[in-house]
A = this chain, B = another copy of it.
Amino acid sequence: LLSEERIVEAALKLAGEAGRLENVSMRALAQDLGLPVMTIYNYVANKEALYELVINHVLRQVRIPLPEEGSWEERLRQLERDSRRAVNRCPGVSFDRRGGGAAEATRLADGAMSILASAGFDSTAAALAFATLFTFLLGQIELDATDLAELSATDIEEVTRETQLSRDEVFEFGLDAVIEGLKAMLPQRRSAAGSPRRPSSP
């Protein structure tokens, strides 16, 4: 009996061993499942579809924080943290452009957008803010996947090593900075409602 679940499970295991999901071959995947290679193609159209299956599985575990779970800043922080953890928990997977079309990625994007809307960003500003958060997360996950002292000289790796900074600390600092920056981009809101719009000073 073969299922998508078993395929994903095997793919994740092999991705961990191979370092990268991209260099797990369909042949190796089939062998691990004890199946002829072509049988897998009854479940996934091609290797690209396998990537999507995996990234959907990974992101499905991420929950969108509810409005009552904290301020918009805290909810965004939690969403970003949770997304990073979910991806990093599965070594070898990263969601670059291939993850874009995944249904679960869309769900998380919607969640982030609605949190931003609740913060007072209009749809244009929310799109910009979302792109910033997404972009930061993408880069951070890429950085997390870069292990050991591959980066030489005065690169991040060296500095963070000699200053004893963990990856989590690096992430938290960056996340704080990004959210702080987004807060500054928020059109001036007054605690009193109905404040008239004033032109922003350059």
Contact = CB atoms under 8 A, between A and B. Distances in A.
A11 to B, nearest CB: 20
Interface string A145-157: 1100011111111
A31 to B, nearest CB: 25
A123 interface: yes
Interface in A12-50: none
Interface stretch (A1-9, A133-141, A193-201): A133-141
Interface residues of A, number: 54
A82 interface: no
B129 A177 contact: yes
Secondary structure class of chain A's binding surface, majority of residues: helix
How many copies of this kind of chain does the complex include? Answer: 2
B154 A106 contact: yes
Interface in A105-151: 105-106, 109-110, 113, 123-124, 126-132, 134-140, 142-143, 145-146, 150-151
A147 to B, nearest CB: 8
B151 A100 contact: yes
A178 interface: yes
A160 to B, nearest CB: 5
A74 interface: no
Nearest to A127: B159
Contact of A181 (B113, B126, B139, B181): B181
B138 A173 contact: no
Contacts of A184: 177, 180-181, 184
Interface of A: 96-97, 100-101, 105-106, 109-110, 113, 123-124, 126-132, 134-140, 142-143, 145-146, 150-157, 159-160, 163, 165, 169-170, 173-174, 176-182, 184-185
